[in-house]
């Protein structure tokens, strides 16, 4: 669960709410007596996504057809800084570039 605290995150509402998503990071995950508490921090990024962007960026952000119509959380295999910059010119904080580094499978020792 410690890995979750290193990933840049999008905090989004269900589509019906028509509220813009926010950028942030999960700070801590605590599991106790069968319950989970997630502490997070919203980090201002301007400009950032708007609610309507999820339809247009569904491929880039790996969003399924009905995914924005139900409350859930998900971990995506997406290089978030790269995809947001390429699609919308959004620059995330510099620390996010380390979180999204890809592995060269030709050079990597497994």
Dihedral angle at the C-alpha atoms of 93, 42, 47, 83, nearest 10 degrees?
Answer: 60
Is residue 58 assigned to a domain? yes
Q: Give the total number of structural domains in the chain.
A: 1
Which pLDDT score is estimated for 1? Answer: 76
Q: How far apart are CA 89 and CA 39, in angstroms?
A: 28
Is 80 within a domain? yes
Is residue 92 situated within a structural domain? yes
* Ramachandran area for residue 62 (φ above 0: left; ψ -120 to 50: alpha; else beta): left
What pLDDT score does 28 carry?
Answer: 95
Residue with tokens 């010119």: 89
Per-residue pLDDT of the chain (110 residues; tens, 9 = 90+): 788 898 999 999 999 999 999 999 999 999 999 999 999 999 999 999 999 999 999 999 999 999 999 888 888 889 999 999 999 999 999 999 876 455 555 665 54
Answer yes or no: is 42 within a domain. yes
Give the three-state DSSP class for 18: coil
User: Does residue 23 lie in a domain region?
Assistant: yes
The predicted model scores a pTM of 0.81
| Residue 103 is assigned to a structural domain of this protein | no
In a domain, 72, yes or no: yes
pLDDT of residue 3: 85
> What pLDDT does 74 receive?
86
Q: Which residue range forms the structural domain that includes residue 55?
A: 2-98
Query: For position 30, what pLDDT does the model report?
Result: 94
DSSP bridge partners of 42? 24
Chain position carrying tokens 């969003």: 63
């Amino acid at each position: 669960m410690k890995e979750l605290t290193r990933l840049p995150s999008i905090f989004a509402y269900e589509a019906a709410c028509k509220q813009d998503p926010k950028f942030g990071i999960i700070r801590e995950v605590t599991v106790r007596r069968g319950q989970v508490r997630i502490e997070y921090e919203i980090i201002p990024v301007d400009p950032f996504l708007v609610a309507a962007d999820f339809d247009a960026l569904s491929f880039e952000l790996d969003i399924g057809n009905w995914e924005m119509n139900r409350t859930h959380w998900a971990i995506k295999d997406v290089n978030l800084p790269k995809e947001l910059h390429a699609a919308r010119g959004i620059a995330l904080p510099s620390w996010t570039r380390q979180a999204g580094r890809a592995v060269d499978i030709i050079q990597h020792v497994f």
